[in-house]
């Protein structure tokens, strides 16, 4: 039994949590988070949902509203088992390790720019970061109110990450002032 891709697992998980629900509802979760991992594009979600159904991880029922055709999906027992397996078999290094970070990637080559340009870019990053932090903090507060500890922790992780990045940028700005 082929392993679940990251996106497949997340879609399956969302259908478990929110189901029965439509693929469109799943998309909205991706489209609305302030820190999306995936685009949530139709071109990704619909094929994933179809795959999950043919593999027996989710089942669907017609759900006509007016003359619009629509299907609602829910996770099957097999699907839950697959999702549990996916959670348990995730002790590899790449799960624990440092995730990719486009800002860090760019930092490596800042030496190519003049000191002035460098400072300008880092300054812009810091400004954008503050704006981003506000958005994520808002999402965090909203989740806190729901009372679901997992939802809370999810947003908390995103926020803490941004804080650490902010500290890092502050440290970098200080260092670059002398270089």
Partner DNA sequence: CCGCTCATGTAACTGGTTACATGATTTA
Partner DNA sequence: TAAATCATGTAACCAGTTACATGAGCGG
Pairing label, strands 58-62, 71-75: antiparallel
Buried (b) or exposed (e) across 97-126, using 16+ Cβ within 10 A?
eeeeeeeeeebeebeeeeeeebeeebeebe
Residues 104-163, interacting with a second copy (CB under 8 A): 104-113, 117, 121, 124-125, 128-129, 132, 136, 148-154, 156-158, 160-163
* Binding to a second copy in span 38-57, by CB under 8 A: none
d(C-alpha 50, C-alpha 14), whole Å: 15
Binding of residue 22 to DNA (CB under 7 A): yes
The DSSP H or E segment spanning 31 is helix 23-32
Under the binding rule (CB under 7 A), the answer on residue 139 touching DNA is: no
4 binds a second copy (CB under 8 A): no
Residues in the chain: 179
Residues at the contact surface with a second copy, assessed by CB under 8 A: 6, 9-10, 13, 16-17, 34-35, 37, 80, 83-84, 86-88, 90-91, 93-113, 117, 121, 124-125, 128-129, 132, 136, 148-154, 156-158, 160-165, 167-168, 171-172, 175-176, 179
């Amino acid at each position: 039994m082929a392993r679940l891709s990251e996106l497949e697992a997340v879609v399956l998980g969302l259908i478990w949590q929110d189901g029965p629900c439509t693929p469109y509802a799943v998309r909205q979760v991706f489209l609305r988070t302030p820190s999306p991992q995936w685009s949530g594009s139709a071109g990704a979600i619909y094929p994933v949902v179809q795959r999950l159904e043919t593999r027996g991880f989710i089942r669907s029922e017609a759900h006509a509203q007016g003359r619009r055709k629509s299907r609602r999906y829910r996770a099957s027992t097999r699907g839950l088992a697959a999702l549990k397996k996916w959670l348990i078999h995730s002790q590899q290094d790449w799960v624990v390790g440092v995730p990719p970070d486009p800002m860090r990637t760019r930092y490596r080559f800042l030496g190519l720019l003049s000191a002035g340009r460098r400072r300008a870019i880092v300054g812009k990053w810091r400004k954008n970061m503050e704006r981003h932090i506000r958005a994520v903090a808002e999402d965090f507060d909203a989740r806190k109110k729901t009372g679901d500890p997992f939802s809370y922790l999810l947003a908390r992780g995103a926020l803490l990450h941004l804080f650490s990045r902010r500290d890092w940028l502050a440290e970098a700005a200080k260092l670059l002032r002398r270089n």
